Amino acid sequence: MALDIDIVIKRKNRPSDKDLRELQYHLMHRFGMDTFRMIGEDGADGKRFVDVAEGGDGTFGIRLYLRSRYYERGYERGDGLRAAMMLLYLIRAYPDGEVWYGSDGLGEYGEDFLKQYDAQKALQLLYHFLDVGKLPYAREMDEALNSVDGTESPLCTFCGFPMIRKSMSSKFASFYCIGCEEQLKLTGDVHEHWIKTRKKSSSKQTDNNGGGTHHASEHSQNLDQAERESVGISETDESVQKRLAHRRAIDYMEIYLSSRITPGGITDPAEIRIPDAMLKLLRSSST
């Protein structure tokens, strides 16, 4: 199961219903309704996306429910821009509180994992998103799925950059473009021809693949260096990085296996083989 964003604002006093409604109002007109996941069945509760969480230390928290996958260095999957901007807003809105950001199920023993964020850490997250966007996660998933048949993804006809493989089997291959969201599915004779002609041998494809990463690094150099140094861009803790790598491998395997399962069961058990790239990622994150 993929990691979702978890944000909690810790306070000494229990927030009132009025406090929750005011927070919702200010978040809604800044970030939009599609940012949040509503809780409750119907009526007034059907519009609620914040809730009260009681801490064991006598403190209270306001928990936000977002419609986004987690975003962090090492798990560049969700909406990093909105996450960083929301953290910056909450830190300014609650100067006497603590803003904690993380994900469900990322803790060392499967519990929720949260870290306290200040403006400096929120800017670190923002700069990381501006540096690389979602490319690290998408490219790694693409390489892992393509490692099964030794191919490379086709170029997007509009953007000119390699598409991302999202599902595959011996009978079809599906791709999407991370830039313009173009979708492509190859089946039948077209798929067979693609398998034969797209084996990793084209230097032109390699150059284009590298182009996306090069563009990201060029973009990051254009950021104000003094401002970057002032927020202390740093790596995420090594132990957290291993857990994130482990979750990435699980994500990729879920995507890989889901394309081989139909309502009637596994399409062809003989063709199920966990890609070496995923196994390598699992092993490296388990040591």
Lowest mean pLDDT among 16-20, 24-28, 120-124, 164-168: 164-168
What number of other Cβ atoms are within 10 A of residue 229's Cβ?
9
> 177 pLDDT exceeds 90?
yes
First to last CA, the chain: 22
Q: Which of 17-31, 167-181, 185-199 has the highest mean pLDDT?
A: 17-31
Alpha carbon distance 257, 274 (integer Å): 9
pLDDT, mean over the chain: 76
- Tell me which of 53 and 73 has the higher pLDDT: 73
pLDDT at site 23: 94
Q: What is the pLDDT of residues 183-204, one digit of tens each?
A: 998 887 777 777 777 765 444 4
pLDDT range class, residue 212, cuts 50, 70, 90? very low
Alpha carbon distance 241, 67 (integer Å): 23
Q: What is the pLDDT of residues 227-272, one digit of tens each?
A: 445 544 445 567 777 778 777 877 777 776 666 555 455 455 555 5
What number of other Cβ atoms are within 10 A of residue 180's Cβ?
12
> 107 pLDDT exceeds 60?
no
> 62 pLDDT exceeds 50?
yes
Record the pTM.
0.76
Average confidence (pLDDT) over 199-216? 44
> 91 pLDDT exceeds 70?
yes
Average confidence (pLDDT) over 111-115? 73
Mapped onto helix, strand or coil, the DSSP state of residue 55 is: coil
- Tell me which of 178 and 234 has the higher pLDDT: 178
8 A C-beta contact, residue 138 and residue 216: no
pLDDT range class, residue 219, cuts 50, 70, 90? very low
pLDDT range class, residue 215, cuts 50, 70, 90? very low
Average confidence (pLDDT) over 42-70? 79
pLDDT range class, residue 171, cuts 50, 70, 90? confident
Residue 131 parent element (H or E)? helix 119-132
8 A C-beta contact, residue 262 and residue 270: no
Q: What is the pLDDT of residues 147-161, one digit of tens each?
A: 877 788 989 999 999
- To the nearest whole percent, how much of the chain has pLDDT over 90? 32
Average confidence (pLDDT) over 154-177? 86
